[in-house]
Structure 1
Amino acid sequence: MKNALTLTLLLSSALLLAPTSSAWACATCACGDPTLMSMGTEQPFSGRLRLSSTLRGWGHTVGTEGVDALRLREARMDLAVAYAPLPWLFLSATLPLQAREVRHASLARDRGWGLGDVELAAKVFLFQDKAFSADHLFSVLGGVKLPTAPVLRGPGGAQLTLDSQLGSGSVDPLAGFAYQHFRGSWSFLASATGFLPTRGIQGFRAGASLRTTLAAQYQPAARWALRLGFDSRLEAAADTAGEHQGHTDHDRHEHTGGFIGYASPDVLFTPAMDVVVAAGVRVPVINQLRGRVSPTPIAMLSVAYDL
């Protein structure tokens, strides 16, 4: 696995260094819009192939410090590929590589790293006001998260707690929609995606959730742009075998579900043709999660490259 992570880092670096002269045509020329877009928000055209690597660092603390607090920290790299076989269809796959540490109230620590749960999705563009350089785009999304992460075990062979696992062990369908508007130097995005988790490891089932994004982007120059968004998650309480409880034991049921909203500023720039780099942070500004859950800001850095 160590060799696999090393290879992943090398491939991610190659996205920045890949020669753009080998591309058949620049993405801006093909779609007719010079707006810099992060992975998953690009305009479609037939044959578009996009690779990306996104690195995130995040965490949260559940419970009361000095009493029953559980602290989780994770670094995650998502490797993604998206292909448009038709001008109205995008197919995508995302493979996460994760490193996670959980510190329990007893000060015991669990550490795990490896592959996470793969996500497959298809985006269908139902409305586009113009075939070239569209001003309005409306799309729907359907997909599934698959249980590809291994079940992590401790030195004695016992399964680690649910918080320490890299995946849920469940098959989770997802569906959503998005609207995008392009107006000169400005672009806007509104999207909503629903997740309906099934039962997975140790009979655990995460709560159904709705995740939304509202964002505005201003691009004063061809090579860089500023983006400000608001991301939110509304989630039902989790359950195990039909009884509500938290991720690790029966007395944590009050720490699942609720609502959280993040302010999401980003900077996007293009160091070379067909390469888009984005850096930003997700800052929790509304925390209505049930129980005592204290999330950290989420740092993000991504590179996307059109072949």
Structure 2
Amino acid sequence: MWKSCLAVPLLLAALLVPLEGRACATCACGDPTLTSMGTEQPFAGRLRLANQVRAWSLTTGQDAVDAVSLRELRMDLSVAYAPLPWLFLSATLPLQTRSLQQVSLARETAWGPGDMEVGAKVFVFRDRDFSADHLIGVLAGARLPTSPTVHDAEGRPLSLDAQLGTASLDPYLGLSYSTFRGDWSFLASATGYLPTRGREGFRAGASLRTTFAAQLQPGPRWAVRLAVDGRLEGPSDLRGAADPVGSGVLAFVSPDVLFSPVTDVVVELGVRVPVLNLLQGNVRQSPILQASLVYDL
């Protein structure tokens, strides 16, 4: 009998011990919008993992004269963590395979890690702490010189265009604005890059990259997104000699479909279609196919 009497208060005491609460990302931030990596609402302790795969090609020069074709398949492994409700820290490591073919059919192939990117997004304004309708963030970070120099079978370095990165330190600074209106959400961002000199004395041109996107989410599990992505890039130079090829303006229309098969998982499929090409040097950009998987831990 005394054992039974003792068991009751012990059971009650065990039930009253507070345990750590866990909630899905939607519950924690109060916003059910499906978001790709980098466009989410923050809350302290939010941790996101992402894997994005992209495939594209680029041709420079005149066909049958001096054309050079570049093809790339790239997988970006990303992690983002919010130690504070107003701060997101992120890192992205690209794994790439590249093939460069000359008009003579000579080919160079490289594969391995590219230049890693690290950054921070500081939310300087939100209209309310929970389920914000308006967010303004400042982005700052850099691409790091993590790509190794790739050599051919004879031990000679591949050409600069065949390398997996510039191996330069490229800082960037940007500004983003997001608003959420029921089934609709909108995003506008602009980011400027200022590359430094890297491998073989090459320095890419300073660039400005912009995104304007609208998203409609009719249901809790899927959404459609349409964006206009733009890039304005200055001329590059090699050991002080200016090279205008590839500089100018390039714009894409980017339709995407987002789907959440289970809680805290977002799958995104899309394509970036070039619609405006004002690049110097007869540069032709193919559509960019992309697929990504995002998981909130």
Q: TM-score, normalised by structure 1?
A: 0.89
Structure 1 gaps of 5+ residues are: 1-22, 246-253
Aligned match for 1:273, one of 258, 263, 280:
263
CA distance in 2, matches of 1:156, 1:219: 54
For 2:118, the equivalent position in structure 1 comes to 120
For 1:47, the equivalent position in structure 2 comes to 45
- The C-alpha deviation readout for 1:11-38, integer Å capped at 9, x for no partner, is xxxxxxxxxxxx9310000000000000
For 1:56, the equivalent position in structure 2 comes to 54
For 2:227, the equivalent position in structure 1 comes to 229
* Higher Cα Rg, which structure: 2
CA distance in 2, matches of 1:256, 1:44: 36
Q: CA deviation at 1:145?
A: 0.5
Aligned match for 1:303, one of 280, 287, 293:
293
Q: CA deviation at 1:256?
A: 2.4
Aligned match for 1:131, one of 129, 132, 141:
129
- Runs of 4+ in structure 1 off by over 3 angstroms are none
Please state if 1:167 is matched with 2:157: no
CA distance in 1, matches of 2:27, 2:261: 17
SS at match of 1:93: strand
Aligned match for 1:207, one of 202, 205, 208:
205
SS at match of 2:48: strand
* Number of residues of Structure 1 aligned to a counterpart in Structure 2: 277
Aligned match for 1:108, one of 92, 103, 106:
106
For 1:74, the equivalent position in structure 2 comes to 72
Q: CA deviation at 1:262?
A: 0.1
- The C-alpha deviation readout for 1:219-263, integer Å capped at 9, x for no partner, is 000000000000000000110111113xxxxxxxx4221000000
Residue identity over aligned pairs, in percent, reads: 61
For 2:279, the equivalent position in structure 1 comes to 289
- The C-alpha deviation readout for 1:253-292, integer Å capped at 9, x for no partner, is x422100000000000100000001000000000001120
- The C-alpha deviation readout for 1:157-206, integer Å capped at 9, x for no partner, is 21111110001010000110100000010000000000000001110000
Please state if 1:25 is matched with 2:16: no
Q: CA RMSD in A?
A: 0.9
For 1:36, the equivalent position in structure 2 comes to 34
Q: TM-score, normalised by structure 2?
A: 0.92
